[in-house]
Amino acid sequence: MKQKAKHIHVTDQSMKVVVFLALSLVMMGASYADDDDDGCEIIFGPNIGDTLPRGERVFIDPCVFCDCPDDALPGTHASCDRIPCPPVPRNCTKPVQVDGECCVKCG
């Protein structure tokens, strides 16, 4: 049984604006990615959409870093990871998360 294509009719003016802006951003993002082949696009954190040059590392926050390999191809996304933390000792009765530090410590 064939299904008919559904047409979406947006009547609310604010919804039309949201749809227009969303489509505009998608189109701008696609052309931005096509024009930029000098590194990796950051797709995480406050630097989203920025380009990280090949062979560089940037810290998104104190606990997360992103890398762009030297041999990155155009359109590559930066690889982002959390800083590895050592395990909290089993005998720790009071683990503490210190402001500004990534890893939990025994207090």
Give the residue extent of every domain in the chain. Answer: 37-106
What's the CA angle centered on 53, arms 64 and 51, to 5 degrees?
Answer: 70
Question: How far, in whole angstroms, is CA 31 from its chain's centroid?
Answer: 18
Q: Print pLDDT tens along the chain (107 aa).
A: 444 444 444 445 544 433 444 444 434 444 334 444 689 999 878 888 899 999 999 988 889 999 999 999 988 999 999 999 999 999 999 999 988 888 999 98
Angstrom distance (rounded) from CA 50 to CA 47 = 6
Q: Which pTM does this prediction carry?
A: 0.52
Confidence at residue 68, expressed as pLDDT on a 0 to 100 scale: 95
